Structure 1
Amino acid sequence: MTDRFRAGAGRLCLDFIRTLRYRGTPAESEELPDAAAWGAWIDQLGPFSSPVRPASVRDAQALREAIHELLTGSLRPLSRQRLNRFAALPVPAPSLTPSGELRWQAPDPASAMLALLARDALELVTSPEFARVRRCAGAHCGALFLDTSRPGTRRWCSMEICGNQAKKSTYRAKDGARG
């Protein structure tokens, strides 16, 4: 089974803001349209071992936009307040099962997930890693990702998707110029 949501941006908060796919383009697509989708995102990328069924998606969408503003340098006062409010919520607590497995628990897993996301974003922008947050060079992507390459020159959020598309376009352009 393939994952429904994209991961691999280098930080959880960066994966989260990618749920508004193709942001700012005519192809913009909302991947969290309802509570069921928000629950599916938590189930795929969160720390919980059992399915999460949140009541609403509005807080998740509002936090996503506040995180995007924070990471792109366009943070408004209301968004800063929202980030701080969500970061102050209780986070999941780890516990060890009798069989030695780590489980994460929270009275309200959806709120705990919002707290983890807000805290991750705040930690990222106040860390040296923030200087390595990049915007994908893909023609229609624009997703943010953490460049963990040694030289710090990574260009695409995903080599398999955006990088491959860019290389195909370059090849076709060169091939068409020869023909």
Structure 2
Amino acid sequence: MTERFRSGAGRPCLDFVRTLRYRGTPTETEELPDAAAWGAWIDQLGPFSAPVRPAGVADARAAREAIHELLTGSLRPSSRQRLNRFAALPVPAPSLTPSGELRWQAEDPAAAMLALLTRDALELATSREFARVRRCAGPACGALFLDTSRPGTRRWCSMEICGNQAKKSTYRAKATAQG
């Protein structure tokens, strides 16, 4: 499977919030424009072995924005209610196949994925880890990530992308100043 969506933010809810890429910048990009994209996100990052084909994307976007509000300290009462509603949905259930493989199943996989994501966000927001949720220092990024570094001083969501761009910019600025 081709990696279409970014992952590696440290928690599933943080990876999900990243689907509004470059949030708050002039290059803000909606990565969930339709139900097919939402299904592709679930297929790439969710627990299901069979492709998921959601009926729509509105609930996914509403959940994503409510999660973002929760994790950035700007939670409105309507978003809190939305989070609670999504978190109350049934989650996927594990089952063992005859060959001994673990499979995850749900009557409505897209709704079950929203339940997993909102529960993850609620758990994160009420845990000690929440103090280590950071916003990427990349000027064009702004993604949230969980800083799991020992000293807790990580600055970029990805050293390979944002960190590397910052280092290149610093190098160029020094070279220009010296030249």
TM-score class, shorter: over 0.9
- 1:14-163 to 2 correspondence within 5 Å? 14-163=14-163
Q: In 2, Cα distance between the equivalents of 1:15 and 1:44?
A: 11
- The Cα of 1:104 is off from its aligned counterpart by 0.2
Q: Helix, strand or coil for the counterpart of 2:103? A: strand
**Identical positions, percent:** 88
- The Cα of 1:99 is off from its aligned counterpart by 1.2
Equivalent position of 2:164 in the other structure:
164
Query: Cα deviation per residue 1:156-177 (whole Å; 9 max; x = unaligned)?
Result: 0000000000000000000111
Amino acid at match of 1:129: E
Q: In 2, Cα distance between the equivalents of 1:103 and 1:170?
A: 47
Q: In 1, Cα distance between the equivalents of 2:121 and 2:132?
A: 14
Query: Cα deviation per residue 1:95-134 (whole Å; 9 max; x = unaligned)?
Result: 1111111100000000000000010000000000000000
TM-score by length of 1: 0.99
Query: Cα deviation per residue 1:66-115 (whole Å; 9 max; x = unaligned)?
Result: 00000000000000000000000000000111111110000000000000
Q: Helix, strand or coil for the counterpart of 1:68? A: helix
Stretches of structure 1 that go unaligned for 5 or more consecutive residues are: none
Amino acid at match of 2:35: A
Amino acid at match of 1:126: T
Q: Helix, strand or coil for the counterpart of 2:74? A: coil
- The Cα of 1:2 is off from its aligned counterpart by 3.5
Amino acid at match of 2:97: T
Amino acid at match of 1:147: D
- The Cα of 1:154 is off from its aligned counterpart by 0.5
Q: In 1, Cα distance between the equivalents of 2:177 and 2:112?
A: 54
TM-score by length of 2: 0.99
Stretches of structure 2 that go unaligned for 5 or more consecutive residues are: none
Q: In 1, Cα distance between the equivalents of 2:140 and 2:56?
A: 30
CA RMSD between the two structures: 0.6
